[in-house]
Amino acid sequence: MDKRQVLKGALASALGIGMAGVLAGCSRETKASFQGVDVTGAEYARDFNLPDALGQQRSLKDFAGKVVVVFFGYTQCPDVCPTSLQELAEVKQLLGADGERLQGIFVTLDPERDQPEMLKAYMESFDPSFIALRGTPEQTAAIAKDFKIFYKKVEGPTPQSYTLDHSAGSYVYDTQGRLRVYERYGSGPQLLAADVRTLLGEKA
């Protein structure tokens, strides 16, 4: 191999390494960094289609331009559900004016007891803009499966005093309706607010 071939090979290698560095740099600059679990590109929990407390069918497209946070629970939940919804209300306040671009969605896992009027009042106790969704028992089972939500009835002393064991955590969608982050229960409003700000700051 003569010197010209050696030089050509060295130049090609240098260019290749240089381009790889540029591409890696671009990747680092454009990939969002989240406080919660990054689930961008997940094949599950892509949408919902359930009626709200007023009977209107709702899906992600109804909230285009907003960051949507979806939480599953039930109104008689003693701790996890009210804590999570209260934290979401705090997130909205932490965002200031951008709080109007945050949409809280609560999906009941207990449609038997969580009647529409009860759900409406429950949402208003945290934030009037939050929306509750209530399907049939069959729809509830189907959406829980799609979102990988575990829930199980735990019998109480009377038929109507049961509780539900269920998954705790929130699904966060960007302004284009794409699932991006899973926030673990107990992360706190500051971390969730940081992730919402990140999503609101992304270019469409």
Same domain, 10 and 78: no
Task: Transcribe 62-92 into DSSP letters.
Answer: GGTTSEEEEEEE-TT-SSHHHHHHHHHHHHH
Per-residue pLDDT band for 48 (boundaries 50, 70, 90) equals very high
Same domain, 24 and 44: no
Q: State whether the Cα torsion 56-180-82-151 is positive or negative.
A: positive
Same domain, 194 and 134: yes
Rounded to whole angstroms, the Cα distance separating 204 from 200 reads 9
Q: What are phi and psi of 171, to 5 degrees?
A: -105, 130
Mean pLDDT of the chain: 89
Rounded to whole angstroms, the Cα distance separating 187 from 158 reads 34
Same domain, 1 and 67: no
What angle do helix axes 189-200 and 80-94 make, rounded to 10 degrees? 50
Token pair for 7: 């030089």
Rounded to whole angstroms, the Cα distance separating 103 from 131 reads 8
CB 49 within 8 A of CB 148: no
Model pLDDT, residue 16: 47
Asked whether residue 26 is marked as a ligand-binding residue, the answer is no
Same domain, 53 and 82: yes
Instruction: Give the range of the structural domain holding residue 135, as residue numbers without chain letter.
Output: 37-200
49-107 pLDDT, tens digit each: 999 999 999 999 999 999 999 999 999 999 999 999 999 999 999 999 999 999 999 99
Same domain, 20 and 41: no
How far CA 95 is from CA of 5, 46, 66, 196, in Å, comes to: 60, 25, 13, 8
Q: Identify the CA nearest to 132 among candidates 48, 23, 7.
A: 48
Same domain, 27 and 42: no
CB 96 within 8 A of CB 120: no
Same domain, 17 and 87: no
123-172 pLDDT, tens digit each: 999 999 999 999 999 999 999 999 999 999 999 999 899 999 999 999 99
Same domain, 12 and 43: no
Say how many domains are in the chain: 2
How far CA 186 is from CA of 40, 77, 152, 192, in Å, comes to: 21, 16, 21, 10
Same domain, 26 and 67: no
Domain at 79, CATH number = 3.40.30.10
Rounded to whole angstroms, the Cα distance separating 98 from 197 reads 8
Same domain, 81 and 159: yes
Token pair for 32: 């969002």
Same domain, 53 and 142: yes
